Structure 1
Amino acid sequence: TTGKAQDHWINLNVNSNTLKNDYIGYGFLVSPFVTYNFYESRVAGRPLAFPASGNAWIYFSSNYNRKFALDIEPSIRIFDQENRMNYGLFISPRYRFNDKMTLIYSTNFSRQNSDIGWVDFSESDIILAERNRTTLTNSISGKYAINNKMTLNLTTRHYWSFAENVQFHTLLEDGTFTPNNNYTTNRDANFNLWNFDLSYSWWFAPGSQITALYRNNAQNFSNEIDKSYGSNFNNVFEDNLNHVFSVSVRYFIDYNKAKNWFKKV
């Protein structure tokens, strides 16, 4: 167990493992004073005040030597600001079919209530938005060993995030903000990102490798929020899926052997 205070934060972490090599831990991070973000405003010398906060989490990770293993970590962060709170949940089950094949699924959900951030400039004002932001990431990764020299690797990831603005504010000189009821531009955001990688690797000699990679990716952005996960997943593939295929060769040359080649020549 460790605990310490440095500058403006206090941190405690507890990490342990059971007799069966399952890992369990928890902790908290407290920032008891107001701090300042000098980059969020996009204007030099105009910081945004960041309220005092407390963050707590707990995690469990079962022994990866078992065929089935599980990682799970819930977390929560509370701010000294009305209605502002973050919470999230990470879950990642994995299954080892045999000594050659492993598959891992991960889902990461986070919610930020009454988050404050820059959205625009209006005349001489710096416009901030108080927004509720939801982010969900789903990914699958797998590895199949054909033999001790050849492997297939798979990675897929879908990232979805949307932010609903509930109130606009004007940033003040001291870093605080005041409500702005005159700004009415739609600054809601709905963003999707998709990645798919499938690669084949062959270690044909010591330190030497051939890799063939197929990759596709896509993304879309809209100011109109769609809260249906299925619709977002389908829409990200509409007319903007990019395909890439590449082959790379890496060959290791031993200098001590190579210099003898030149001597013979």
Structure 2
Amino acid sequence: MWLAYRWLKPKKWYNRIQANMNISYSMRYKPMDYQRFNFNINANTQLKNLWWAGFNVNINPEQNDFFEPRVNGKVFKRPDSWATGFWFETNSAKKYSAVVEFFNRTFNQYGSNGQDIFLRHNYRFNKKLTLTVNTFLQFFHNNLGYATMYSPDSIIFALRKRNTVENVFNVKYNFTNKMGLSFRARHYWSKVANKEFYTLRNDGYLNHIAGGINRNVDFNVNYFNIDMVYTWQFALGSFINVVWKDAISTFNQDTRTKYFKNFGNTLSSDQQNSISIRVIYFLDALSLKKKS
């Protein structure tokens, strides 16, 4: 269900305001079992300086998570939670524009909470050159999730610290209106440090394991990618694309490494490079038929 209301007549400090409330109810198809219920309130406004700003509120009662246990027929009773967030976006018609988003979720058990932060900086130097930097940060404290499995009837969950950082750097340069170069570099880093362990019961709830387990199930994963594309439209509907791709991925169990040392270790790891050339030529079959 979705309800919305809009104020479209400009006033002293805003151009428009819009608000909505939506409710969703999700069930598994076979067998028909309840999965989750979501209640959301969102509002946003465009200010006189053409900035946008908004906030949202989200409430989730207890959920049946059929996927986190990794075993068919098992379920995890994810605790109920509530969340609030806000965002703003500056005037995108300006040379410099920015987007800021913040979202906080709190669970009613285990002291679990998490924050999402998104930042975007965009600078348009001129008609030819544009630079964009995106940063996504995610911090979970006392997060509950799957850790390991001894058998399908012995599934281990963990209370853990889970952090994710993603940085994306984009450059776009147009030599002419038919020739351009784009460059994209992305680094994704996620690490999980487990603190306490639990067994998953048949009813979906957890039992604490005193003394922990005899496995190291922490992880530290990195992905680094570069995509550079040169495009030339040499005729109507016809293109030459030259693409360079570089890919690095690492996985270990060292969760103590700080960001820049971790990034340096990633860059010094084995890489996979590829160069491809693709030619797309538009052939008008009707014109050839007329000539013949």
Normalised TM-score (structure 1) = 0.94
**Which is worse superposed, 179-188 or 88-97?**
179-188
Residue 169 (str. 1) matches residue 203 (str. 2): no
Residue 41 (str. 1) matches residue 69 (str. 2): yes
Counterpart residue number, 1:141: 170
Counterpart among 225, 235, 239 of residue 205 in structure 1 = 235
> Within 2, Cα distance between the matches of 1:81 and 1:255?
67
Counterpart among 1, 14, 22 of residue 4 in structure 1 = 22
- TM-superposed deviation, 1:250: 1.3
- TM-superposed deviation, 1:246: 0.6
Contact 1:190–1:226 (8 Å) recurs in 2: no
Matches within 5 A, 1:195-234: 195-234=225-264
Contact 2:141–2:161 (8 Å) recurs in 1: yes
**Which is worse superposed, 155-164 or 4-13?**
4-13
- Deviation digits for residues 224-251 of structure 1 (CA, Å, limit 9, x no counterpart): 2133111111111224111110111112
Unaligned stretches of 5+ in structure 2?
A: 1-18, 26-36
Contact 1:187–1:223 (8 Å) recurs in 2: yes
Counterpart residue number, 1:122: 150
Matches within 5 A, 1:55-94: 55-94=83-122
Identity of matched residues, % = 29
Counterpart residue number, 2:42: 13
Residue 194 (str. 1) matches residue 212 (str. 2): no
Counterpart residue number, 1:248: 278
- TM-superposed deviation, 1:253: 2.0
> Within 1, Cα distance between the matches of 2:214 and 2:154?
14
Contact 2:250–2:269 (8 Å) recurs in 1: no
Contact 2:130–2:172 (8 Å) recurs in 1: yes
Aligned AA (2:200): L
- TM-superposed deviation, 1:66: 0.6
- Give the number of equivalent residue pairs: 261
Counterpart among 180, 184, 188 of residue 155 in structure 1 = 184
Residue 106 (str. 1) matches residue 98 (str. 2): no
Contact 1:140–1:155 (8 Å) recurs in 2: yes
Unaligned stretches of 5+ in structure 1?
A: none
**Which is worse superposed, 230-239 or 158-167?**
230-239
Counterpart among 34, 43, 54 of residue 82 in structure 2 = 54
Q: 2:287 is paired with a residue of what secondary structure?
A: helix
Contact 2:106–2:113 (8 Å) recurs in 1: yes
Aligned AA (1:5): I
- TM-superposed deviation, 1:148: 0.5
